[in-house]
Amino acid sequence: MRYEAHYVDMNLSPLWGEVLRKAGFEAMHWSSIGKATDEDILIMDYARNHDCIVFTHDMDFGMLLALTNAAAPSVLQIRTADVMPDAISPLILHALTAYANELE
C-alpha cells in the first residue's frame, strides 16, 4: 500500500495541511472532508479506504488500531504541549520522510 495523502485531524490546526503540502505531501484537514463531530471510527475508515496517514494529537486513533488489530491506516501521533507547525514542523517533516516505508 502506498499512502498518497495525509489527513490532519480536527485537533490540529488547518495550517498543518499547508505545511505538509509545501513540503510536497498531499494533505487535507478533516474539516475539508467531514464534520468536527464525526466519530473516530468513521475517520479511521475514511483514512483506510483512501490510503491516508492519520496525523493527530488524539490518543484514540492508536488505541483503535490496537483494539481492532488493523494494519491500516498508519497513524502519526504527536504528544507535546505546542502542536503548532511553527514549533514542530521540522521534526514532523523529518519523521514523515525518515519513516516513509514504515508508514506505508
Q: pLDDT tens-digit profile of 27-80?
A: 999 999 999 999 999 999 999 999 899 999 999 998 998 898 988 999 999 999
Domain holding 24, by residue range, is 5-103
Q: Residue 4 has what pLDDT?
A: 56
Is the model's pLDDT at 1 over the cut of 50? no
Nearby residues of 78 by Cβ (< 8 Å), 6 or more positions away? 55, 56, 57, 88, 92
Q: Considering the entire predicted model, what is its pTM?
A: 0.89
Number of domains in the chain: 1
